[in-house]
């Protein structure tokens, strides 16, 4: 007799989506993992990209007078 408790395949894990905080299916079925979907994946990447662009802008915001003296 086979016990129904022993499943050969593990069920898909559900993790928290880093973008929206909602439940996200962490499985091979979800190509956007750990995000819950395409929208959240692109949204998080957009925020990450804008942060990267903010770095050189902050560096160029130095006072030019400080360098001359």
The full DSSP string for the chain is ---TT--SSPPPEEEE-TTT-SEEEESTT-TTTTSSSHHHHHHHHHHHHHHHHHHHHHHTTS-HHHHH-
Q: Which of residues 22 and 54 has its CB atom nearest to Zn ion in the complex?
A: 22
25 scored as a contact of Zn ion (CB under 5 A): no
In the list 15, 20, 26, 27, the residue contacting Zn ion (rule: CB under 5 A) is 20
Choosing from 19, 25, 33, 41, the residue that interacts with Zn ion (CB under 5 A) is 19
Residue closer to Zn ion by CB (options 22, 49) is: 22
């Amino acid at each position: 007799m086979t016990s129904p408790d022993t499943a050969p395949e593990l069920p898909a894990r559900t993790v928290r989506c880093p973008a929206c905080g909602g439940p996200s299916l962490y499985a091979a079925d979800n190509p956007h993992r750990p995000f819950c979907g395409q929208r959240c994946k692109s949204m998080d990447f957009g925020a990450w990209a804008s942060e990267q662009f903010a770095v050189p802008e902050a560096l160029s915001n130095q006072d030019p007078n400080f360098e001359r003296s």
